[in-house]
Amino acid sequence: MIELVSKCGPITDVQFIPTEKGKYILVLRGYTYSQVGGRFFYCSSKHMGCRARVRLMSGKLVASADEHNHAPPSHARCGNGAFVQLRPRGLSNFTGLASAILPSPITSPTVAALALHALNFPRILPKTDLWLRPPNPEEKKDPNYRKEYTSGKRFSWRCSKRGCPATAVTIDDIGALYNGQRFYKNYMGTDGVVSWICHNKHICNRRIKTLGRQVVATSNKTHSMRCIELELEDGTLGAEFEGRKFQNYLEEDGVVSWICYSKNCNRRIRTQGPYVIEVSDNEHSSSNSDVSECTEEYYFGTSSRGNPVLVLSGQRFKLMKDRGKLRRWICIKTRERCNSFVVTEDENIIKMNNRNLICLNVGTWWFR
């Protein structure tokens, strides 16, 4: 027989509820405790700073001296999906309430009997009732986050799930990628039409206009045939042209030959000084023939465990490798054999493999 002990004397209001993971939730005086290991039960609001806990010692449940810093929950979920009502909603004063709502104290020493008794709880409310909220017109596309506040161009987002501390911050310096070219927002026109200018605006005047997520107009100016010298990840000198990186492989009489820096891509250019004088006929490995005019947002945040995550097209990626400015992210659904990955540099997406992703073989998508 399990004896329940605290500094205030014997405990009478107790119940064990089996969870979907095979462990148990301890209901004690209207509060719920999650089982950690085999002998410890920590308050379910531990992530909110509550230090209350209970320990099983020699058949006795011993409560700690730490008090709860919150009101008791109104419902708990059983392993069969049913929700058990612990106290009426909106009732913060729970003194004497647990003995009126909870079944009689369990005296059976076996865990199986405790679980069976918990499964006999009535099904009170469906899950959707617990999470029901009024519609938010500023709700972000990913339903896990909602806008919390705005400070200038900075937007703060907080996870909309109850008890989830995850947050994300975005900056309203958005751009677009169209046919392999990056564009920055130039101005907002009438009727929702947005004008964009090439990110190399100091040398290129190419512009596009979008309405919502669709490209509605493009300028008749071609992109500048001037490339930009830069340092590649391996420390060698490279060039950027049409939004792509190239590495040097041959130089003769002032004419430099470059090959695309992306793996398995044979696109080549030849330059003389800062200007491109010849471009090969073969396209980049990610051909523009598959281009559609769909846009997707992405932003960075943190998971409930405090780990960095990338949310792209409604899918979440976890950080796999961190090499300073370069970061490699993989899909969190690795158990479902999703091989999608994303590579970012200074929070800009520079590479992805498009596998098992929705609307990522695109010509236009948002980036931050």
Distance CA 313, CA 47 (A): 29
Predicted confidence (pLDDT) per residue in 308-327, tens digit = 888 876 778 899 888 888 88
* pLDDT for position 367: 35
Residues 325 and 280 in one domain: no
Q: Is residue 269 part of a domain?
A: yes
CATH number of the domain encompassing residue 326: 2.20.25.240
Q: Is residue 167 part of a domain?
A: no
Long-range contacts of 18-26 (CB under 8 A, 24+ apart): 18/78, 18/79, 18/115, 18/118, 18/119, 19/77, 19/78, 19/79, 20/79, 24/111, 24/114, 24/115, 25/76, 26/54, 26/61
Beta bridge pairs of residue 328 = 321, 343
Distance CA 156, CA 150 (A): 6
Range of the domain at 53: 3-128
Query: Which residue among 128, 154, 189 closes a domain?
Result: 128
Residues 253 and 338 in one domain: no
Distance CA 128, CA 6 (A): 36
Q: Is residue 158 part of a domain?
A: no
pTM: 0.26
Number of domains in the chain: 4
Q: Residue 205: phi, psi to the nearest 5?
A: -110, 20
* pLDDT for position 206: 77
Q: Are 308 and 319 in contact (CB under 8 A)?
A: yes
Residues 88 and 111 in one domain: yes
Q: Are 185 and 194 in contact (CB under 8 A)?
A: yes
Query: Which residue among 218, 253, 277 closes a domain?
Result: 218
Q: Is residue 259 part of a domain?
A: yes
Q: Is residue 253 part of a domain?
A: yes
Residues 121 and 26 in one domain: yes
Residues contacting 306, CB < 8 A, separation 6+: none
Residues 207 and 97 in one domain: no
Q: Is residue 162 part of a domain?
A: no
Residues 38 and 83 in one domain: yes
Strand ranges, E, within 242-295: 244-252, 255-260, 268-272, 275-279
Residues 90 and 195 in one domain: no
Classified as helix, coil or strand, 111 is helix
Distance CA 108, CA 16 (A): 11
Distance CA 347, CA 311 (A): 12
Mean pLDDT across the chain, nearest whole number?
A: 66
Residues 286 and 303 in one domain: no
Residues 24 and 98 in one domain: yes
- In a 10 Å sphere around its CB, with 0-12 CB exposed, 13-18 middle and 19+ buried, how is residue 150 labelled? exposed
Distance CA 119, CA 82 (A): 8
Predicted confidence (pLDDT) per residue in 46-104, tens digit = 777 788 888 877 767 787 777 888 888 776 666 555 666 665 444 444 343 333 333 33
Q: Are 212 and 192 in contact (CB under 8 A)?
A: yes
* pLDDT for position 179: 65
Q: Are 13 and 30 in contact (CB under 8 A)?
A: yes
Residues 10 and 47 in one domain: yes
Distance CA 126, CA 141 (A): 25
Distance CA 217, CA 243 (A): 20
Look at residues 114, 3, 107, 118 and name the one whose alpha carbon lies nearest to residue 54: 3
Residues 276 and 256 in one domain: yes
* pLDDT for position 52: 87
* pLDDT for position 123: 33
Residues 284 and 238 in one domain: yes
Q: Is residue 124 part of a domain?
A: yes
Residues in the chain: 368
Query: Which residue among 72, 93, 128 closes a domain?
Result: 128
Q: Edge-to-edge strand order for the sheet containing 237-241?
A: 228-231, 237-241, 244-252, 255-260, 268-272, 275-279
Query: What Å distances lie between residue 43 and 67, 100, 282, CA to CA?
Result: 10, 22, 62
Distance CA 119, CA 41 (A): 20
The segments of the chain whose pLDDT lies below 70 read 1-13, 20-21, 59, 75-157, 160, 166-175, 177, 179-182, 199-203, 213, 220-226, 228, 242-243, 282-297, 313, 353-368
Q: Is residue 362 part of a domain?
A: yes
